Structure 1
Amino acid sequence: MKTKELLFGACLCMFTACNMPEKGMDVDVYEALDYCDAQVQRTLTELKAAEGTIDYSMMPRNIMDSLNTWHCRKATKDEWCSGFWPGVLWYDYEYTGKATIKEEAEKFTEPLKFLSQIPAYDHDLGFLIFCSYGNGYRLTHNPEYKQVILDTADSLATLFRPRVGTILSWPRNIEMFGGHNTIMDNMINLEMLFWAAKNGGNPYLADIAVSHADKTMKYQFRPDYTSYHVAVYDTLTGDFIKGVTHQGYADNTMWARGQAWAIYGYTVVYRETLDPRYLDFVQKVTDVYLERLPEDYVPYWDFDDPNIPNVPRDASAASVTASALLELSTYLPGKKGEEYKNAAIKMLASLSSDKYQCGKSKPAFLLHSTGHLPNNSEIDAAIIYADYYYIEALVRLKNLIENKAVI
């Protein structure tokens, strides 16, 4: 019996070695996921009030650099980050299989149901519902979760403007930007539309997603494939007016997380359509990001900030990109796929180091994310969406190592 176990262990080690990059780029994915689980347990303990109960409508949002406990915000229609903590719990449950974590994931997911029952406030419904209910349905097949997703997809679709061809991201900011505004973050919300169209929703939802991706591809990128954070269109004619920033350094710079959203979003669009145009395009968008990374593969908050290297990093952008590249690598067999997988693992190796992990200092996963620097908001902080995409990327890497589907 011991001989068989030794042989199995040797084979597993050989297989794992074949699926990992060269020496110096390694990350122990199981150790990193164990760390995430330990931090989840710390957070759950912290969230319990003095009497030992949790307010499940209050979601962890950030921990500023000088602090060591979570700042939580109530799950409301305008709190765009409320879906990430339930999503973290679902991924932790996927890894650990712990019934207690599943129960907590269910309880933190439930307070977001109201979003499927009210008119769309803005485009963030994909972040809010697909990270929470989407992962919950993927792991449990709870029919109630499915209906919430379908109803929310219909709500998101009401923000689509056919004359423009994209989803209106921020209805409240039309006057501020001078027209119909579409932000790069919006690319992430297309996944919920594609999913709904394939799972009992209106097939037209996929048409909306494709239209949005096409118009964004045409107007929201510069000739060098760097992206504008915001594209502004004429509300009446649908004509492109201008590309600007909102959270980046300037209108003509590459905001790191915006480019990461683009990489992730167009990877999803290729997966859902298998249209080679998107596969070609996402490689161009990816390559301009990768070629300008610092040595540790965690970007500065904006690639064109003139004060680099004396500016904040953005671990959240690295997490988003790592997760996307692990999926994208599977669509590109050969040298290019290996390049992207190795880049993702370099990112995760850095993020899993003492430089970027919170360790014992805070109950979050990662340090050094930048939310909205021009607004002096969440600078060099632990932010929940960095944690979400970090654990998602780790689960995806684990799947690749174990020869499973990446998603």
Structure 2
Amino acid sequence: MINSLTTLETALESSLNIIRNNVDHYFDRFQHVSEDGVYPKEENKLWTMGFYPGQLYLAHIVTKDDYFISKRQEILNSFKERCESGHMDTHDIGFLYEMTAYYDYKATGDEESKKLFLAAADKLMDRYNEKGGYIQAWGPMEANAEKTRIIIDCMMNLPTLYLATELTGDPKYKDAAISHANISSKTLIRKDGSSYHTYWMDVQSGEPIEGRTHQGFKDESTWARGQAWAVYGFYKSYTFTQNPHFLDIAMKCADVFLANLPENDINYWDFSFTDKTPDIRDSSATSIAISGLLRLAKVVKGEKAETYHKAGVELLHILAERYQNTEAQVGAGILEEGMYHRIDGARAYTSWGDYYYVEALAAFLGYPAASEEM
């Protein structure tokens, strides 16, 4: 691809400029989904609040400029308060605390950040149903409930448990993560490698009931962002366990994602839609998938490695050339045409889309992952 390196270096530089201009604007409240081209400042209650701080740590890795984490203490104070007394009834604790407390610990060595990360990991463990071997999705834990859900998104939160075992030596965290990943591979992943968004589980027996969607087009369709979570999430479980089953699932999910790409463009928000029956696209799902594909290409061999790398780079170019904002005004996002829900937050900047896009650019250009720094 002509000028591939130059194009993506320029894309990363432009992204860093946008992040830099937002440093002094988002430190007590954070980014979620844009409205009219600008991110409102959101209270630290939503599942997405870790993605903007995560961008700051990515920018710090690339530039070595401490300005990007100059508001780190204010940010960490907000997340400490949330962990102690705020909204924690969610499976997305990893998204919240890996990208804040853990990244900060790796970047600075601050023991208080390590303590906060481990406290959050304990909160995630509180959501573990030992009988069923799974982590409950959103909502309060109700011992007398008949059924509850697991969710494909949670695969991306399991690294918090793997990392907690690495930091403490206590195997309980990793054991829970492995169990949840195994259950997810048998329920949320269909035989053809496509995915359900959620799966109902019997609370009392721990047994699976049925697959359902929450944000997809219909129960038996494949929600694009969920499929991207599956690609990257099972890859992550493989890297922490070296279990070939998780690598096999990641590859099957990647193959389904690539098979459902339209001609020379990014994915629609659900794979029910095609160029013959188009709908809104979702660049945030694309960015997640790229970040997973580029990493997956490094741990598989032969033609698959070439396929995943080539697809990841081609998609990265499409995002850089057609979907990236380059105007660095305060409050702006990076990646256009992202989606939260089909009827709530479509064609918008999304904090997670921005995060994984910058992560993918940095990975392609050879920068280490945030969790590797220290």
Would the TM-score normalized by the shorter structure come out above 0.5?
A: yes
Other-structure match for 1:75: 44
Residue number in structure 1 paired with 2:160: 192
> How far apart, CA to CA, are the structure 2 residues paired with 1:241 and 1:297?
36
Gaps of 5+ in 1: 1-21, 48-53
Task: Give the percent of matched residue pairs that are identical in Structure 1 and Structure 2.
Answer: 30
Alignment of 1:233-382 (within 5 A): 233-305=201-273, 309-353=277-321, 355-360=322-327, 363-373=332-342, 376-382=343-349
Contact between 2:198 and 2:212, CA under 8 Å: does it hold in 1? yes
Q: 1:58 is paired with a residue of what secondary structure?
A: coil
> Separation in 2 of the partners of 1:199 and 1:285?
30
| CA shift digits 1:262-283 (9 cap, x unpaired) | 0111000000000111111211
Q: Report the CA distance between 1:153 and its aligned residue.
A: 0.6
Matched, 1:395 2:362: yes
d(CA) in 1 for partners of 2:310 and 2:295?
Answer: 12
Q: Does 1:88 pair with 2:55?
A: yes
Deviates more, 1:294-303 or 1:84-93: 294-303
Distance 2:362 2:171 in 1: 30
3-state SS of paired residue (2:256): helix
Aligned partner of residue 368 in structure 1, secondary structure: coil
* Larger relative contact order (Cα-Cα within 8 Å, sequence gap ≥ 6): 2
Q: Quick check: which has more Rg, 1 or 2? A: 1
Give the CA deviation at 1:385: 0.7
2:16 matched residue in structure 1? 37
Q: Which runs of 5+ in 2 are unaligned?
A: none
Displacement of 1:406: 8.8
Q: Counterpart of 1:228?
A: 196
Going from structure 1 to structure 2, the CA distance change for 1:332 and 1:240 (only over 3 Å counts) comes to same
Distance 2:29 2:186 in 1: 39
Q: 2: distance between equivalents of 1:406 and 1:201?
A: 18
| TM-score, structure 2 as length reference | 0.91
Measured in 1, the distance between the counterparts of 2:146 and 2:349 equals: 33
> Is 1:101 the counterpart of 2:80 in the alignment?
no
8 A Cα contact 2:37 2:348, kept in partner: no
2: distance between equivalents of 1:338 and 1:122? Answer: 37
User: Matched residue of 2:30: which SS?
Assistant: strand
C-alpha distance after superposition, 1:85-127 (max 9, x if no partner): 1101111111111121121344334311124335841111101
Alignment partner of 1:209 is 2:177: yes
- Tell me, in whole angstroms, the C-alpha distance in 1 between the residues paired with 2:142 and 2:268: 30
Q: Confirm or deny: 8 A CA contact 1:86 1:109 kept in the other structure.
A: no
Moved over 4 A (4+): 22-27, 172-175, 306-309
Cα distance change of structure 1 residues 27 and 386 upon mapping to structure 2, 3 Å threshold: farther
CA RMSD after TM alignment: 2.5
In 2, Cα distance between the equivalents of 1:159 and 1:43? 34
Q: Secondary structure at the match of 1:242?
A: strand
Displacement after TM superposition at 1:23 (Å): 4.6
Letter of the 2:52 counterpart: W
How many residues matched? 367
Change (3 A) 1:291 1:307: closer
User: Does the 8 Å CA contact 2:268/2:278 hold for their aligned counterparts?
Assistant: no
1:92-241 equivalences in 2 (<5 Å): 92-118=59-85, 120-172=88-140, 179-200=147-168, 202-241=170-209
1:314-342, CA deviations, whole angstroms, 9 ceiling, x for partnerless residues?
Answer: 11111111111111111113321121111
TM-score of the two chains, using structure 1 as the length reference: 0.84
Q: Distance in 2 between matches of 1:187 and 1:206?
A: 13
Distance of 1:406 and 1:99 partners within structure 2: 17
Distance 1:361 1:86, change over 3 A: closer
Query: Residues 383 and 121 (structure 1 numbering): CA distance in 2 closer, same or farther, change over 3 Å?
Result: same
Give the match's secondary structure for 1:92. Answer: helix
Instruction: Give the AA of the match of 1:236.
Output: Q
